Chain A
Amino acid sequence: MAAPKDTLGDYVRQVRESTQRYAQDLLAENEKLLALALTVHTEKTQLEEQVETLRTQLERHRAAERTLAEEMSDMESTRRELSSRYLDVEQSNTNLAHLYVASYGLHASLERDDVVRSIHEILVNLVGSEDFAIVDRASEGGPFTVTSSMGVSAERCARIRPDEGTIGDSLTRGVTYVRSLDGQGRGPEEPTACIPLTVGGRVYGGIVVFGLLPHKPQLEAVDRELFDLLATHAASALYCCELHARVKLQVGREAAQ
């Protein structure tokens, strides 16, 4: 009758031992989980710190990017300004070259034909006109007549009245006429410009521009400067030619005597 009691005792002992093992396993597992949780927590903290660091760096980079963008914008406007100035300087260079070449050409010879050719070349190459006439006085105080022209037919030349209208007004007053941009009130013989050729305040002749080349819509500032230059330099060059011709004639006569 002792056997069942032992069996129960064994069973209880076994259960207790199993329970103890299970409890130990749980405790061990719990330890592991605690250690793991600690590791994860530490990693989380580190990652949060890294994220914070990266966020700070990102902010710093964004600020640097904004500064660079502003600097780029400033540099771009400076580049545009310099580019615009460069164009202005190039234009001024071209304009100065035009004025220099015109002046040089007018005073390069004492022969009237050469000076007149030079005036033609200035009007074609520098002003941009192939439709003009040069008027002159045969005698002092006499009427103006067309002495040279380009692109103006003989018939049209005959119709030009240098002593009347706009041309007459400009030549009488010795004031350069330049047609207004809108060209209002323009008659068929109304010039684009009229430049009196004056020496010492006296008008010796004039240049009448009737039109510009088709691709040139209007006169520009440098053209007005060229007209001013022609008004004095062409006049003095032609005047010198006249004096030179007279001197040559006189010297020839004296040599013949």
Chain B
Amino acid sequence: MNESKKKILLVDDSSTALMIEKMLLGKASYDVITARNGEEAVQKAIAERPDLILMDVVMPTMTGVQACRVLRAHDATRATPIILVTTRGEREAVEEGFASGCNDYVTKPIDGLELLTKLRDQLGQ
């Protein structure tokens, strides 16, 4: 397996969440870039073309769900896998996420193994 490192865009307004996600993904040998809100996420996703976006739902300026809709409407990011991170695991919240175009979701607190499994699944690894 001589694959180049996959690039992951982490989006969260919480330093704590970003740090834990970075630690979990860093040890799995991914290149990680970050954004602190949905708006910044859209800009970075278009400019940096990550292989996958892991994005919190509740954020200032633009929520994860809104950002997901914008990313799905843009040619450059239409097919980029998006995993939403949510504190709400109820059916309505999950359905709203999928309706916005996300590929999968994980709930907080993040379980490292679950996150890596879903991430690898979306990246076809």
Contacts and interface: CB of A to CB of B under 8 A. Distances in A.
Interface string B3-30: 0000000000011110110011001000
A121 B88 contact: no
A22 interface: no
Contacts of B87: 124, 128, 130, 213
A101 interface: yes
A77 interface: no
Given A130-B87, A214-B89, A125 B107 contact: no
A11 interface: no
B107 A121 contact: no
B109 A128 contact: yes
B108 interface: yes
B113 A125 contact: no
Interface stretch (A1-9, A61-69, A92-100, A246-254): A92-100
Contacts of A127: 109
B89 A125 contact: no
B89 to A, nearest CB: 3
Given A90-B112, A214-B89, A101 B19 contact: yes
Interface in A61-98: 87, 90-91, 93-94, 97-98
Contacts of A122: 16
Contacts of B24: 93-94, 97
Contacts, number: 68
B14 A121 contact: yes
Contact of B19 (A90, A91, A104, A124): A104
A116 interface: no
A121 B17 CA distance: 8
Given A97-B20, A213-B87, A215-B89, A105 B15 contact: yes
B23 A125 contact: no
B111 interface: yes
A102 interface: yes
B90 interface: yes
Contacts of A215: 89-90, 107
Contacts of A101: 16, 19-20, 23
Given A121-B15, A213-B89, 12 more contacts: A93-B27, A94-B110, A94-B112, A97-B20, A97-B23, A121-B14, A122-B16, A125-B108, A126-B20, A213-B87, A213-B107, A216-B109
